[in-house]
A and B are shown apart, each in its own frame.
Chain A
Amino acid sequence: MLLSRAFKSLLNQPVINDIRYTQVCFHRFRSVPKLRIPEWRFRVERKIKDDNLTSENQKFIKEVVERDFGKQVIHKGVETYESKTLLKVPEIEPKTWKKGTIRCGVIAKKLGHYPLWKKDGTRICTTVLQIVDNHVIKYIPPNEFEPKERRPLKKYDRKGCILVGAESVDPNILTANYMGMFKGSGVMPTKHIFRFVVDDVAALPPGTPLNVSHFRVGDHVDVRGKTVHRGFQGVVKRWGFKGGPATHGNTKTHRRPGSLSSGVKSRIWKGKKMPGDMGNSWRILKGLKIWRINTKTNTMWVSGYSIAGNPGDLVYVYDTILPLRQPKEPLPLPTFLGDESALPEDIYEDSIHKFNEPSIIYEPEK
């Protein structure tokens, strides 16, 4: 009787359904490389303490943010806020582009891979980049812009600088110093911010949006991104050494580098390839062709699978500097100033087969 009563009391207890917190351990074997903040930027996120706010107070804070900046919306496939505080951009005069003038770049997100077919039947590999709600924050003219990390340029060769922000964010999580960078620009504080060095001709007033129409189909771009972090790796994976044989009396030298230097030299050369931290470094892929543009979602199709980073990571897109892949027609300077709503939704390169076209048929031989 007692036993059965105890059993029944067990049954009546509330069942715990949430099993998400069980058996999870997280070992950090080695320290993550130090986050280096560039000189021109402040720390973005503040240290978030648990303030134990009531739900009413949280609601009140949300109301204040919505009152000042606008509501949360999805703009061209990106979660942002309504740009309520944007200043009215004065009308920009279009200027003529010459060979060698450097325009502003763009902050984009790597979405993933995508196959496209040409009209002659060959398949090409492309990567899709989405431009994530970019706005110009500030323009620094050449006489004020003196970056410390570069060697001083000559006066006539000096360049200005444009600060561009992407993806506006809830300002509660940001530091006060970082918020100060947006003062007077009218742009809502953004999650990401980047600096593009430009010519004085390509200056842009604060508040101007940057979209895909900044680029054209058929032109070439350079894409800069951070490579995937592999951690501390040996010499076989990091530098592609051959390693040692697996058998034939071999012990403990299967994946080792071998000798480091000669006996005559009796020291190690500088820059010797050794084990160490792999990845997590900036790399630029140059001269990638733009095959397709979607103006509705702000996306563009760029050739190649090997753009640095995982899908979802940020990349920076510029006009190419390669001399043989310069555009034949002049680029829109400082940006595309026409009506964006008048553009078609999908713009393809001439040699690409559109998906709503009939299937490929080859002409018979004569």
Chain B
Amino acid sequence: MLRKICKVNLIQNNLINSQYVIFRHLSAKAELNEAAESQEKKKTKKPKKALTDMRFKYPEFLPQPDNRLRNPVLERIMRKDMLDRRTQINIPEFYVGSILKLTISDPHSQGKTNSFVGICIQRDRTGLYSKFALRNVIDHQGIEVMYDLYDPAILKIEVLKLEKRLDDKLIYLKDALPEYSTIDVNMEPEILAEGGNIPVNDTVVKMKPFPWMQKWERQGLKGVEDLDKHLNLWRKQQKVKHDSPWDKYDLMKEYRKTITEEEQSEIFSEIFNRINKINEQHKQKAKAARRTISKPQNIG
């Protein structure tokens, strides 16, 4: 009994802020014998695909995976508040790499509203704490702005271009050439066909010469050109020294960052009905708005 508790405590090391892995399901149940497995299969049904796919669309509804900081009562209240906020504003599906236009009410600006267009370079945290950052280059000046996703000052979130990139975070765009993060401010939205897969943009980025903000060569980035031509001998040696190629085989490390499949289906089945209802309401509102715009009346 004591040993069981010990193991749980030993597992948790500084994983509070790290982002969870959502691309693989890991079940909490141990593997069973063949005979027992066949019996088990008859009893339990696998969760539906519609439920399990919601982890890509609504990642902020999954709580953070550290068990010490979790509480079921608090999570349920937080989910209810998030859905309440979603009734007021349409928070669309977007990923790291897609281009957004954001309008917020700003007490400092002259017209009391402000807007910003940029690439989403990272999404962090969960629940009401979830936030995202946009980046753009305006007048040859790189600018980044961080927003809380559930901030009540946000008036509208528009997705101008829905796509994914090769990496989970695009913070390296700071040190890339500015052409990769320049976006036209007056860009028009590109409409994707419904139900199709989301396209993956596989551009490979060229970097500026030194100095850099971080040691990008150690992070195993996919969307960056071969960085060896920038490095000197010392930095190449350090790269090899700090490399840990065995990390991808460490299942426990991944398991600590995940929320199990059973728990995910429990969470999403709770919000499934209400969130679909809210999305339909926003669709109808948008349709009604489009109709009014399409009938201009000439006076006189």
B residues with a Cβ closer than 8 A to A are 2-4, 6-7, 10, 30-33, 68-71, 73-74, 77-78, 81-82, 84-85, 87-89, 105-107, 110-112, 128-129, 148, 150-155
Contact = CB atoms under 8 A, between A and B. Distances in A.
A115 interface: yes
Contacts of B82: 355
B154 A359 contact: yes
A112 B153 contact: no
B78 to A, nearest CB: 7
Contacts of A147: none
Contacts of A33: none
A20 B110 CA distance: 62
Contact of A310 (B68, B77, B85, B154): B68
The SS class assigned to the A binding surface is: loop
Interface string A1-45: 000000000000011011111001010000000000000000000
B110 to A, nearest CB: 8
A120 B106 CA distance: 10
30 contacts: A15-B33, A19-B30, A20-B3, A24-B7, A26-B2, A112-B69, A112-B71, A117-B152, A120-B107, A121-B105, A121-B153, A123-B148, A128-B77, A130-B73, A294-B77, A297-B73, A299-B73, A312-B68, A353-B152, A355-B85, A355-B150, A355-B152, A356-B87, A357-B152, A359-B105, A359-B153, A359-B155, A360-B152, A361-B105, A362-B105
A53 to B, nearest CB: 16
Cβ-closest 6 pairs across A and B: A355-B84, A356-B84, A77-B73, A362-B112, A355-B81, A111-B74
A18 B4 CA distance: 12
Contacts of B70: 112
Nearest to A17: B30
B88 A111 contact: no
Contacts, number: 95
Given A299-B73, A364-B111, 8 more contacts: A18-B30, A121-B107, A299-B77, A312-B71, A356-B84, A357-B152, A361-B105, A362-B107
Interface residues of A, number: 39
B174 to A, nearest CB: 26
B128 A115 contact: yes
A363 interface: yes
B224 to A, nearest CB: 34
Contacts of B2: 26
Interface string A95-115: 000000000000000011011
Interface string A211-242: 00000000000000000000000000000000
Contacts of A364: 111-112
Contacts of B3: 20-21, 24, 26
Contacts of B32: 17
Contacts of A294: 77
A357 B77 contact: no
Contact of A115 (B84, B88, B129, B155): B129
Given A360-B105, A361-B112, A114 B152 contact: no
Contact of A24 (B10, B31, B33): B10
